[in-house]
Amino acid sequence: MDSPLYISHYCKIEKGLISVDGNVVFHADEAPFSDFIKQAFKHQQLDYPKFYKMDNLSKLAFLAAEVLLRDEEDKEDIALVLVNKSGSLDTDVKHQESIQDAANFYPSPAVFVYTLANICGGEISIRHGMKSEQVFFVSDAFDATTIFNYATYLLASQKAKKVLCGWVELFEENYKAVLCLVERAGTKLHTINNINQLVKN
Amino acid sequence: MEELKEELKGKIIEVLNLEDVAVADIDDSDALFGDGLGLDSIDALELIVLLDKEYGIKLSDPKQGKSIFESVNTMADYIAKNRTK
């Protein structure tokens, strides 16, 4: 690696609060997730009806990516490295409930298509026209080293110009997203320690 | 028939999560796919499930869907003739 990499911007969504680079941009503390994320989406004044059809994990990842990427240009070569603990379990449970009763067996195709965690990466890629590498790891515990190494590799090998990476966890009412945009310019160094601080604090 | 059409519009909005669409926004003859409501292939599958779940109609030939799901008019007409519940 001949030049340092930086976390140029980061977004956190947790406990009814959305912040960008440490500055709160939206909060709705008491609302359940589905209401909170809908309010946040409308607050961003986005015109994207597909959002309402997404599962909750995709809504979470989509909105975190949106606030970081909406003003970016040339997004085709931005890669995605996402990690969480629960995979798509939140939607898996909903799908399972719809096929539990043989006498009332009506699985929803619109729910079923989200029973893969990496679909949220697809939603982000479609929205922003990203055609670079994309990966979604499911890990029991947050591991900053994996994110750091993968993002560094993608940039060092010139497989991507920028990398959007981080943690997007959701199961029922427990949710947390911390996404970082890593590139060759910025002020906060792309290090394992800095990623850990952003995600764990 | 008018009552069925209004009911159908409400169910379409609900099952397809058409957040910014109201019953009054959908004309009976509006195209559901393409330039109309802009529904996609997953929405088409949801409409097939809706016919089964709400009206007891199982579409044995998916090719039928193209004409049945043309508009609320065509859907209501098909439901009225084939419903089992």
| Nearest residue of chain B to residue A105 (CA atoms) | B53
Q: How far apart are CA B56 and CA A11, in angstroms?
A: 47
| Nearest residue of chain A to residue B51 (CA atoms) | A106
| Nearest residue of chain B to residue A47 (CA atoms) | B20
pLDDT tens for A172-187 read 999 999 999 999 999 9
Q: Report whether pLDDT(B62) > 90.
A: no
Q: Does A42 lie at the interface with B, CB-CB under 8 angstroms?
A: no
pLDDT tens for A44-58 read 999 899 999 999 999
Nearest-CB residue to B49 (from A38, A52, A109): A109
Give the residue, A62 or B37, on which the prediction is more confident. A62
Return residues 125-184 of A near B (CB < 8 Å). Answer: none
In this structure, which long-range contacts are made by residues B68-73, counting pairs with CB atoms below 8 Å and at least 24 apart in sequence?
A: B69/B32, B69/B33, B69/B44, B70/B31, B70/B32, B71/B28, B71/B29, B71/B30, B71/B31, B71/B32, B71/B36, B72/B5, B72/B8, B72/B9, B72/B12, B72/B26, B72/B27, B72/B28, B72/B29, B72/B30, B72/B32, B73/B5, B73/B28, B73/B29
**With pLDDT > 70 as the criterion, what percentage of chain A qualifies?**
99
| Nearest residue of chain A to residue B49 (CA atoms) | A106
Structural domains present in chain B: 2-82 (1.10.1200.10)
pLDDT tens for B18-53 read 988 999 999 999 999 987 788 889 999 999 999 999
Q: What's the pLDDT score for residue A2? A: 65
Q: Helices (H) and strands (E) in chain A — how many of each?
A: 7, 8
Lowest average pLDDT, out of A36-45, A77-86, A159-168, B37-46, goes to: B37-46
Q: Does B19 lie at the interface with A, CB-CB under 8 angstroms?
A: yes
Give domain limits for chain A. Answer: 6-200
Lowest average pLDDT, out of A63-72, A99-108, B5-14, goes to: A99-108
Q: Does B52 lie at the interface with A, CB-CB under 8 angstroms?
A: yes
Answer yes or no: do A106 and B52 touch at CB < 8 A. yes
Q: Enter the tokens of residue B75.
A: 């859907």
pLDDT tens for A21-44 read 999 999 997 789 999 999 999 999
Answer yes or no: do B43 and A52 touch at CB < 8 A. no
| Nearest residue of chain B to residue A55 (CA atoms) | B17
Q: What's the pLDDT score for residue B74? A: 97
Chain A residues lying within 8 Å of B45, measured CB to CB: 109-110
Average pLDDT, integer, range A104-124 = 96
Q: How would residue A63 be classed by pLDDT, with cut points 50, 70 and 90?
A: very high
Mean pLDDT of all residues belonging to chain A: 95
- State the complex-level ipTM: 0.87
Separation in Å, CA of A6 to nearest CA in chain B: 38
Q: Does A53 lie at the interface with B, CB-CB under 8 angstroms?
A: yes
Strands A17-20, A6-14: pairing is antiparallel
Q: How far apart are CA A12 and CA A44, in angstroms?
A: 15
Q: Report whether pLDDT(A1) > 60.
A: no
Average pLDDT, integer, range A116-125 = 97
Q: What's the pLDDT score for residue A33? A: 96
Nearest-CB residue to B46 (from A38, A52, A110): A110
Q: Does B80 lie at the interface with A, CB-CB under 8 angstroms?
A: no
Please check whether the domain covering A6-200 is classified as CATH 3.40.50.300.
no
